Amino acid sequence: MKIRQVLSALEQFAPLPLQESWDNAGLQVGLTEAEVSGALLCLDVNEQIVDEAIRKGCNLIVSHHPLLFRGLKQVSGSDYVQRCVIKAIKNDIVVASMHTNMDNAMNGVNWKIAEKLGLVNGRFFAQKQVDGIEAGSGVVGELPQPMAAKDFIQLVKERFQVECAMCNELLVRPVKKVAICGGAGDFLLDDAMREGADAFITGEMHYHVYFDHEQQIQICVIGHYQSEQYTSEIFRDIIQRECPGVRTEIAETNTNPIKYI
């Protein structure tokens, strides 16, 4: 099977028109007519990821975050992005990214977070229609049973393997309805409250957004990388279903640049 067929399957699931105007999802580096030897699936692309692809014999890297957000004015190896481009081309590796198109897609990133938390009755909020496709920036669902806020935060920490979460004052009422936006999601906090959510989970939020929501909604911020870490599972499932026989490898390299000391 050719690389372009794998990319086509991913783009059918999360069409590129679903991406935000500032994004650069899709093909990043390389030629797609080659037969795929294996697909390495990851959140970010750095030099260690390209080395892992080489080591594992994968000539396709599929990441969530694009390697190339802006046009390169030179390719001289002066930063990690340029070095990744050079190394990928030298080793005949294609790099492609499914970013905000996968965030906005049905059963995309936010749905995966909801799945990990065991939420039911999931649906989009901040909905939109793009080329007749139903999409949304966030997902809201319900816990099977109401939980105390402290217990809910502990559940989130366990499911996403985080040592700490950044929260506002603990909610005194039970948490039942949960709103989700993976990555940087503070732009959806007001929408989450309009949905009647008891809690809002995201990856990162600006400091001032935490103010003035005490006992309105339980904010739970777990880290950008941590919130989106299971996106590779979505890539794997699509490829295994639509491109049987293509070898998939979820990257072992942890690309989170933030260290908790």
Between strands 218-221 and 166-167, the pairing is: antiparallel
DSSP string covering 185-233:
-GGGHHHHHHTT-SEEEEEE--GGGGTT-TTT-EEEE--HHHHHTTHHH
In this prediction, residue 261 carries a pLDDT of 87
Phi and psi, residue 124, nearest 5°: -70, 150
The residue written with tokens 């590779």 in the block is 232
pLDDT of the residue at 201: 98
Contact (Cβ atoms closer than 8 angstroms) between residue 105 and residue 14 = yes
Is the pTM value of this prediction over 0.85? yes
Amino acid sitting at position 114: A
Whether 260 shows a pLDDT value over 90: the answer reads no
Note the pLDDT of residue 67: 98
In the block, which residue shows the tokens 């975050």? 65
CB burial class (10 A; 0-12, 13-18, 19+) of residue 88? buried
Is residue 202 predicted with pLDDT exceeding 90? yes
Q: What is the mean pLDDT of the chain?
A: 97
Model confidence at 71, in pLDDT bands (50, 70, 90)? confident
Read off the tokens for 152.
């809910």
